[in-house]
Structure 1
Amino acid sequence: MKSIKVDQNTNDIVFSHSNGTFDYVKDNDALAQKIKILLGTNLGEIIWDRTEGVDQNSIILNGKRPDVIETVITEYLKRALNKFVTCKVTTLDFDKKNRVTNLQIAVNLHNESSVNLQVIGGDH
């Protein structure tokens, strides 16, 4: 898998002005980038298809329940990637008002690839 690289901080496409080409990511880096973009799209956010996106409200409302977060993300990625996917929450931190401030997950695609990625907060 090869994709045009997206800057993690600005979400802009990375373009090298010195040689006039786009930067690319491959393999697990491309998969991690794709998953992060998918998880950054809230359910109903896309005007032309309100059925697309992950139900971020379920993640927010169930912030103290890793099992619910894993289920929401797993079911969404199964549909979005059209592959068998498992998701495991590896880090889950909260602020004083019980809001998720740091969420890291491990995603496995059956017989293909696995990636660990920062979903919310932490150092990019």
Structure 2
Amino acid sequence: MNDLAIDENGDIILNAVGDGLETVNDEWDDIAQSVRIILGTRLGEYVHDREMGLNRINLFTGKDGKINPYLIDDINTALMQDERITDAEIGDSFFDAQNRELSISIKVNLATDESRQLEVGVNANDFI
């Protein structure tokens, strides 16, 4: 079974072929989408799974382009919600305080000993 594909705004992607719904067919695209969903969901927000999502207490408290060090732990904890992910390493990150945007490079390691670098962005204005 394939998951429905969503765009960077969280909208389902429609196409003109077949049933009109785009699906995620590649495992890494599915994992990247899962990471975006987890980090884009406030912990406790999803009523069907209150344990899903990111604790946002430390999300937008960084200064001078740096993220709050506690946020790294929060992100790692959140990403472990996807059972395919065994470890995640936060690489380069940038916090734009004026626009309330966070860009993170994450190396995701899987149980299959595969790993991949993912780029994820979170914007606080999406959660007001």
Report the TM-score when normalising by structure 1: 0.71
Shift of 1:41: 0.4
> Which contiguous aligned blocks of 4+ residues in structure 1 show a shift greater than 4 angstroms?
47-50
Shift of 1:35: 1.2
The CA deviation string for residues 19-55 of structure 1, in whole angstroms up to 9 with x for no partner, is: 4332222210111111111110011323455443211
2:108 counterpart letter in structure 1: V
In 2 relative to 1, CA 119–111 (structure 1 residues): closer, same or farther, beyond 3 Å?
A: same
Query: Aligned partners of 1:20, 1:118: CA distance in 2, in Å?
Result: 30
Hey, what does 1:23 align to over in structure 2?
Answer: 22
Q: Is 1:115 the counterpart of 2:116 in the alignment? A: yes
Query: Aligned partners of 2:10, 2:47: CA distance in 1, in Å?
Result: 20
Report the TM-score when normalising by structure 2: 0.69
Q: Is 1:75 the counterpart of 2:77 in the alignment? A: yes
Number of residues of Structure 1 aligned to a counterpart in Structure 2: 120
In 2 relative to 1, CA 69–106 (structure 1 residues): closer, same or farther, beyond 3 Å?
A: farther
Would you tell me which structure has more helix in proportion to its own residues?
A: 1
Q: Is 1:94 the counterpart of 2:95 in the alignment? A: yes
In 2 relative to 1, CA 50–108 (structure 1 residues): closer, same or farther, beyond 3 Å?
A: same
Shift of 1:70: 3.0
Query: Aligned partners of 2:74, 2:97: CA distance in 1, in Å?
Result: 24
Identical residues among aligned pairs (%):
26
Hey, what does 1:45 align to over in structure 2?
Answer: 45
Query: Aligned partners of 2:110, 2:59: CA distance in 1, in Å?
Result: 21
1:22 counterpart letter in structure 2: L
Structure 2 gaps of 5+ residues are 123-128
Query: Aligned partners of 2:85, 2:14: CA distance in 1, in Å?
Result: 33
CA RMSD of aligned residues (A): 3.1
Structure 1 gaps of 5+ residues are none
